[in-house]
Structure 1
């Protein structure tokens, strides 16, 4: 078996045979949806502020549609070859360089997302001070400011007593119940936020959201492109496609699960985007959970704020192990390509797990802002995993199965991804050099 073919082996059956009790489509929907609805939802309202409602809605629909196409490419070309992993199908198309590129992008994307999750959990529990404005966390509001509810201590407790037990599972299907709970919590978050926005609208406490972006300065047009990578990152789950898909009985089941998940997640993203923007207007933060601190004068309103924040913090804790799966297996394959399967070596399994948790924790303590993190990931590794690599596989067509439609869609996908990412990266560099905020 080639090193690429061993990638993610702890998550997959050793052959292409289906397990005795193959996962249901509903279970796959929960796992796919949980992989998608991670921290990305927190920055969706901010993209509505930057883009305006109509362009943001169009971007969500287009990116969801392209993500569905790219997953279909990945599954079809993987089943046409001998691999069972993303790195494996890239190796069959582009050799060892292809598999290494996938491994690096998965490690960058997933590690970045895990750090983002911890940053947001820290915001919820212990607050943040964006631009000098103090936003208290739930623990600080309830008990006052103490050493034991500081960001460092609260995150350490969460890491040791909640996240560590969850990342010990060695099969994706084992997380189907926690994934179902995670999706439910995301829906609760969106529902309560929507109710709060509607109540504020009825009471006349909201401002009308902008339908189109305001282009009031020279760089404004290019600044719009900095919001696109945020949505790309919010729909990037391709690192888990093979781990989930090859546990299914039929390839068509995975495609069905992905399409259901895309519709569900797009609806959730648009709902939280419009109502979050409506609720907080131009003051909406890059991490909208920071806005839910003390903005209500009533006890019920304060209770709803706390429920919103805590429900989504718990959601991220349940999403954490899904991303950790593919990150850990890719890192193991990258560092130890000749070793036995990771699941068979408990020492290596524990060592990599603890190192990843420790690094994520330290980075989350050091980095306070998630917006630039999303921009960086969406402009680089995430866009490669979601669009550029799947499009390149279809264009390379190592198995001779591409249709004219496949080649056209692949070319369009790659061109759009490269152009928008290049503009976003250039705009961010220009903003940093000139000292302006994007």
Structure 2
């Protein structure tokens, strides 16, 4: 998946730096000591290759996976699978650019890379994008967890969740109470971990739950295929008029959301026992995620065809026409809900750090005092919970987030850093690819925003 060979001299370049007490280091060159007492980020790194792959893969695989079958309905199987592969390659390139400039510029966070290239304005812009992106994604996660466990009502029709489907409608199966209990006893405790490597086991379980969902979809699809219940899927998009052309671009933000993991890559690199292995970690994580994405998209679209909903999970509230359909529906929904619960703290990690860095830029580091760490964590978790109970819609929000903050974090900012080239290490190929990436990102996502806005206002059908 690598696009080019790196200059060996650049890879061997190491510069010893001193980290200020006010900064919490997330990326350090191999030769720098990371043993400052009292700061967990500076304890000797102990993360394994496998743990790093699971954590980065968990960052990648989130709620967006459930929207991928719907992108196949929009783009067709051939174009859709090709788009996933292209986005994976671009994600690897942008991560490689980010890590190279981090190492050469002695930057220990993504925001410091932005500051070295664009000054304080660049740093602030990045932090705003991280807050919008991560906060929005966490709200979406919590809303979907509520939908899965307590159901949801659309245009007066109630779609039962797992709990009210099993036990009926009671006060303790209501959405607000279920989300409160989930927050207090699952999400909040996981959010209080100070090192992302502490989440390696929950991340492994999260990846396993994504595989459970995939295995069930594949199994059901083959059963229906043998019974003649699967129709031939479209390989290309169904273009009938201008509106259908605009509609193609609505898939772009979903695909962009699928591969953005840049906010946690510095943290994972810092905690690796051997930080030179970050590129293999990135490559392995993107490969694993791409395989899961492609198979989920293909078999999800094969199973439901043109009836595939924006959130394919919503398709699992009806009889699938196979034995034990109700049991399989519940397993799919429960496994996905638990998957999102375990992804939540990984995304929350970078949200908390960048929120602290943005609001308290001149004060001590987040972990300097227990009170500051605990209070920041409580406030952010509470805000996510409140927003999840009041936000009426998630999918347009997910698309707008993907078309703005997410695309900037994952593609526009790394490409802009390469073009600005503050350390003189970018090759001509780097700059050409960066220009192409920015043009494609701005063009496609601008059209996606227009198409979504037009659809919401009733301009398009």
TM-score range, shorter chain: over 0.9
Matched, 1:118 2:110: no
Q: 2:189 aligns with which of 136, 155, 165?
A: 165
Shift of residue 432, structure 1, vs aligned partner = 2.7
Q: Unpaired runs of 5+ in structure 2?
A: 1-16, 35-42
Aligned-partner Cα distance in 2 for 1:6–1:31:
26
Aligned match of 1:17 in 33, 54, 67? 33
What's 1:80 paired with? 104
Post-superposition shift, 1:435?
4.7
Q: Counterpart of 2:202?
A: 178
What count of residue pairs does the alignment treat as equivalent? Answer: 436
Instruction: Measure, in 1, the Cα distance between the counterparts of 2:338 and 2:319.
Output: 22
> Is the partner of 2:152 in helix, strand or coil?
coil
Q: 2:53 aligns with which of 6, 26, 29?
A: 29
Match of 2:80 among 40, 53, 56: 56
Give the match's secondary structure for 2:296. Answer: helix
Q: 1:416 aligns with which of 429, 440, 454?
A: 440
2:257 corresponds to 1:257:
no
Q: Which residue of 1 aligns with 2:6?
A: none
Distance in 1 between residues matched to 2:395 and 2:19, nearest whole Å: 36
- What SS does the corresponding residue of 2:69 show, helix, strand or coil? helix
Counterpart of 2:71 in structure 1 is: 47
Stretch moving more, 202-211 or 267-276: 202-211
Residues 125-144 of structure 1 mapped to structure 2, 5 A cutoff: 125-144=149-168
- Specify the SS of the correspondent of 1:380: helix
Distance 2:298 2:247 in 1: 20
Structure 1 contact 49–282 (Cα < 8 Å) conserved = yes
Task: Name the CA distance, whole Å, in 1 between partners of 2:353 and 2:312.
Answer: 32
Residue number in structure 2 paired with 1:209: 233
Q: Give the SS at the match of 1:419.
A: helix
Secondary structure of 1:192's partner?
helix
Secondary structure (helix, strand or coil) at the match of 1:134 reads strand
Other structure's SS at 1:170 match = coil
1:194 paired residue number: 218
For residues 223 and 322 of structure 2, the distance between their equivalents in structure 1, rounded to whole angstroms, comes to: 13
Partners of 1:132 and 1:44 lie apart in 2 by 27
Distance 1:436 1:7, change over 3 A: farther
CA distance in 1, matches of 2:246, 2:186: 41
Q: Which residue among 250, 262, 267 is the counterpart of 1:226?
A: 250
2:95 aligns with 71
> 2:411 aligned with 1:395, yes or no?
no
CA drift of 1:8 comes to: 4.9
Task: Give the deviation of 1:345 after TM superposition.
Answer: 2.0
TM-score by length of 1: 0.94
Tell me: CA distance 1:315–1:299, structure 2 relative to 1, closer, same or farther (3 Å).
same
Instruction: Identify the residue that residue 321 of structure 1 maps to in structure 2.
Output: 345
Q: For residues 3 and 428 of structure 1, what CA distance do their matches in structure 2 show?
A: 44
Match of 2:359 among 319, 322, 335: 335
1:92 aligns with 2:108: no
**Normalising by structure 2, what TM-score?**
0.90
How big is the shift at 1:250? 4.1
- 2:335 is the counterpart of 1:311: yes
Given that 2:27 and 2:109 are in contact with CA atoms closer than 8 Å, whether structure 1 keeps it comes out as no
Q: Call closer, same or farther: CA 1:277–1:84 in 2, change over 3 Å.
A: same
* In the alignment, structure 1 residue 238 sits paired with structure 2 residue 270: no
Following superposition, the deviation at residue 94 of structure 1 comes to 0.7
- The answer as to whether partners of 2:196 and 2:346 remain within 8 angstroms in 1 is yes
